[in-house]
Structure 1
Amino acid sequence: MVKTVIKSVGLSVLLACGTSGSFAQRETATAAKPNVVLINVDDLGWADLGFMGSEYYETPNLDRLSEESKIFMHAYAAASNCAPSRATMLTGRYPMTHGIYTVDPADRGNPKTRQLIPSPNAKKIPTDSYTLGDFFQAQGYRTGVFGKWHISDDPQDFGFEVNIGGNHRGSPGKDGYFSPYLINLEAKKDDEYLTDRLTDEAIQFVKENQNEPFFLYLPFYTVHTPLMGKPELVEKYKNKPGSRGQSNPVYAAMILSMDENVGRLLETLASLGLEDKTMIIFTSDNGGIRAISYQDPLRAGKGSYYEGGIRVPMLVKWQGQIQSGIDHTPVTQMDLFPTFRELIASDTSIELDGESILPLFFGEKLAKRDLFWHFPIYLEAYDPKEDGSRDPLFRTRPGSVIRSGEWKLHQYFEDGGLELYNLRDDPSEAKNLALSNSEITAELLRKLQKWREDEGAPMPSTKNPDYDPAFEAEAIAKAIK
């Protein structure tokens, strides 16, 4: 196996250039029912891993996994923050079907700076939602979730037989990464670390179900705030020089703990002889927080619909089946559900909005398509000087986005603003080409408007009576001072 360093969007990605995977193997694979392990890290940025180019964070286990995996360099979350991203991935449906556009409330930020009344926002997915848990359970799989659920009170209402630590909470809470925990989980020993414990439980689930198919959903709470790392690992990074806006030793310690635990799970699968029988997907629910870790060359971070907020790391391994290497096809986490359906049970009665990316696993191509996002609400700024947003007061104001090939158009509803970027030439979304490429702008805007009409996307149009333009101007001046 020959290792090659490939340059991609200015980052060095190390991968193994193998020859595994073929159309014949695809035929064999689609007749099989692999175990599925879906690891979803919370708030992990696109560039926060060694195999994605980080020179500061250390992820040796994931780096090795990447050498045997299909790496999707243009993978996207379906939303830029936790709850809507997870709801959309787990149901395979746009937010218009489940109603979750943000982590409640939808009217964040000072009311005097919001021109519109945001669209209604659901706190939970509807009780009749059909999730990945329901799907795998219907196919005879054992199902378990180990970590952050966040889209209802109990994942056991949605096809998961085992639930360890999952409820409606979006974070472990203050000091919550060390026991005693604030989530619904009792510690087994003093000073237990949450990421370790969740992995312990996931490993036990694998051992108990090694002789039957299983779907293991491992949505770590880490690396969501509050930032809390093991003291000995934090100490390890204190004297390590930072690189390209990545220098937080506590955050680095959390990433290393996550990587160590992924390594433990992978080792368990190997020791039980399950590597050939298990598909492993590793990803993050949205972009990282820019004030904590830069995702350069991508702009902005969590809560934004610039690339740093929605583009996420994603790799897929199925030993002996999936062809390793880098794929630049734009894909979305909403595609995972239809991919599993094609692979395991072609049930066309399940309504899904994504598209199967199974062909990409075997070195084939997908027909060109457009990707869409809709965000009819407000998310206030984290850090006006670090966020990299359009506006220092908000990470995102109401709007929609389309990616079509190398082009990406942002539309904002308050002022009708349009921003057009060529992601091939400008991954930082720094040069707005909307005026100089008016024909492309008009074409993408027509597509975006038609998609919203077809999907019944809510459009906030009611003016906010509390809006005060003078107050807003003063607040912006203070924020950038």
Structure 2
Amino acid sequence: MKRRDFFKCLGAFGAVCLSPEFSLSENSAENFSKPNIVLMHIDDLGWADVGYKAPHNYYETPNIDALKQSGMEFNNGYAAAALCSPTRAALMTGRYPARTGVTNFISRPNVTENPEGYISSPSMEYKTPKRYQFMELEEITIPEILAPAGYDTYHLGKWHLGTSDPYTPDKQGFEVQMMGECHRDYFDPYDCDSLPDRKEGEYLTDRLTDEAENLMRSSIDNGKPFFLHLAHHAVHTPIRARQDYIDYFKAKPKPSGWEHLDPVHAAMIKSVDDSVGDIISKIDDLGIADNTFVIFTSDNGGHQPVADNTPLREGKRWPYEGGIREPWLFRWDGVIPAGSVCEYPICSIDVLPTVCDFAGANLPSGVDIDGVSITSLLKNQQQIPERDMFWYFPHYISDYTGEIAPFAVIRSGKWKMIRWYDSDKPSELYNLEEDLSETNDCASLYPDKVLDFELRIENWIMEVDAKRPLKNENYDDGRPGKENVFIG
């Protein structure tokens, strides 16, 4: 069933009209058996930005730390990309960014057709695919699956998968959306049609949290399960925070060796932590903790130089662990063992199949879903087979440390290989069990493994029909290529 036909069906019969592709499994026929689902998706929050991971005590995240203790942490959890938009597309669809076409960040409004073709200049060794400016409507999202199953669907905060109609969250399955089409400042007035101004000077993170609490209450009062996607803009640039929190962290002594940490960044993290605490408290106050599945994660690594991802290497935009390894926490009282840790590697693509599994909603047929359900791991029942995971960025991009060439990455067990599309940069191989900071490139010691991983990457590229960087016949010198981009 095509997406547009699916919505014709909904328009004629409402939420009770279920296509066979979206029918409910037998064990979830009644609303009371469907868990509420809260997905807290933070922007640019690095692996080391949370208290239980940070190698210092400057950041304060007591509520996030408490969430870890009340549920399960996945210590090898990843974003599907080192940038915002590709990860968000993967999260919503369960598909690798290379399948959706959203492989770089989305930047331009009022675009009605995604560009085809390649970018090329004499300074670029490879021609690179032009980047999408919205996620295609044919992609089927989590709310589009859950709404026909009787769920209220709410999006609050950053969308970054299209800023103009019809590519906003309300056109991709969300019954209610706030702030999905705009973000101009962290303080009221917000200048956003979907989030009316309320109190001048109000902080956006606080406002979105307040709205989320009201929506949860509304669904419970109406006897309906809900899917809440709370996608805070924090801690993305511009680095702006509440003044009282800034003053607090300016006055707080910084640990020796960590004098470079930014008090405004710390203040933004604290506001996110407040939000987590408020949401969990509201779930508890509503008496729904035993029927609410909570997910907490981020879209990419911390943005250097404001963030410090130590002990991980580099950060946002880079294929190293600092760019893609994220905090991943799950809570469901009575279902997920409290205080547990799982070492199985997971990724943003696993959210959709896991949510559908818990909700009793079948995956859409005729769609290649790359993620896997991790429900058996969350319930601590059984292991699931190991698998290779892939990352793919077929573009040049600038970072404060220089230019980053196109790359492909495979993680297989303890091994991770980075393949660069750059004749001056050979593939890099790391044993993450022994070298989490990726300081010891083992490629020269294991040439057969490098070759094997090169072949696996090639096979995967063909499988997902990824757009490849192409050798540039007009390349005339050894300068690194770049696109003029400095935001993500």
TM score, norm. by length of structure 2: 0.84
% same residue: 36
Tell whether 2:412 aligns with 1:438: no
Instruction: Using the TM superposition, give the Cα deviation of residue 376 of structure 1 relative to its aligned residue in structure 2, in angstroms.
Output: 0.7
- Partner residue of 1:298 out of 312, 324, 327: 312
- Partner residue of 2:84 out of 61, 82, 85: 82
- Partner residue of 1:454 out of 450, 460, 463: 463
* Cα pair 1:123 1:151 within 8 Å, conserved: yes
Partner secondary structure for residue 52 of structure 1: coil
* Residue number in structure 1 paired with 2:409: 401
Matches within 5 A, 1:134-213: 134-152=144-162, 153=164, 154-167=168-181, 169=182, 172-173=183-184, 176-184=185-193, 185-210=195-220, 211-213=223-225
CA distance in 2, matches of 1:72, 1:301: 19
Unaligned runs of 5+ in 2: 1-25, 108-114, 483-488
- Partner residue of 2:419 out of 411, 418, 425: 411
CA distance in 2, matches of 1:251, 1:472: 31
Deviation string for 1:59-88 (max 9, x for gaps)? 111111111110011100101111111011
* Residue number in structure 2 paired with 1:372: 390
CA distance in 1, matches of 2:384, 2:101: 29
Amino acid at match of 1:180: P
Task: Report the CA distance shift for 1:205/1:425 in structure 2 as closer, same or farther (over 3 A).
Answer: same
* Cα pair 1:35 1:214 within 8 Å, conserved: yes
Instruction: Using the TM superposition, give the Cα deviation of residue 28 of structure 1 relative to its aligned residue in structure 2, in angstroms.
Output: 9.1
CA distance in 2, matches of 1:288, 1:380: 16
Task: Report the CA distance shift for 1:183/1:116 in structure 2 as closer, same or farther (over 3 A).
Answer: farther
* Cα pair 1:137 1:143 within 8 Å, conserved: yes
CA distance in 1, matches of 2:210, 2:307: 28
- Partner residue of 2:357 out of 342, 358, 361: 342
* Residue number in structure 1 paired with 2:70: 68
Deviation string for 1:144-190 (max 9, x for gaps)? 001011102311111100011111x4xx33xx111111444221111
* Residue number in structure 1 paired with 2:9: none
Instruction: Using the TM superposition, give the Cα deviation of residue 241 of structure 1 relative to its aligned residue in structure 2, in angstroms.
Output: 3.2
RMSD of equivalent CA atoms: 2.5
Partner secondary structure for residue 362 of structure 2: coil
User: Which moved further from structure 2: 113-122 or 247-256?
Assistant: 113-122
* Cα pair 1:177 1:228 within 8 Å, conserved: yes
* Cα pair 1:98 1:122 within 8 Å, conserved: no
- Partner residue of 2:370 out of 353, 377, 380: 353
User: Which moved further from structure 2: 330-339 or 347-356?
Assistant: 347-356
* Cα pair 2:38 2:227 within 8 Å, conserved: yes
Instruction: Using the TM superposition, give the Cα deviation of residue 45 of structure 1 relative to its aligned residue in structure 2, in angstroms.
Output: 0.3
Partner secondary structure for residue 266 of structure 1: helix
- Partner residue of 2:228 out of 195, 216, 226: 216
Unaligned runs of 5+ in 1: 1-26, 385-392, 476-481
CA distance in 2, matches of 1:227, 1:55: 20
CA distance in 2, matches of 1:313, 1:240: 25
* Cα pair 1:69 1:315 within 8 Å, conserved: yes
Instruction: Using the TM superposition, give the Cα deviation of residue 293 of structure 1 relative to its aligned residue in structure 2, in angstroms.
Output: 1.6
* Residue number in structure 2 paired with 1:239: 251
Instruction: Using the TM superposition, give the Cα deviation of residue 30 of structure 1 relative to its aligned residue in structure 2, in angstroms.
Output: 12
Q: Number of aligned residue pairs: give it.
A: 432
TM score, norm. by length of structure 1: 0.85
Instruction: Using the TM superposition, give the Cα deviation of residue 467 of structure 1 relative to its aligned residue in structure 2, in angstroms.
Output: 5.3
Instruction: Using the TM superposition, give the Cα deviation of residue 247 of structure 1 relative to its aligned residue in structure 2, in angstroms.
Output: 1.5
* Residue number in structure 1 paired with 2:8: none
- Partner residue of 1:55 out of 54, 57, 60: 57
- Partner residue of 1:130 out of 137, 140, 152: 140
Amino acid at match of 1:354: G
User: Which moved further from structure 2: 131-140 or 90-99?
Assistant: 90-99
Task: Report the CA distance shift for 1:380/1:108 in structure 2 as closer, same or farther (over 3 A).
Answer: farther
CA distance in 2, matches of 1:457, 1:400: 11
CA distance in 1, matches of 2:89, 2:235: 19
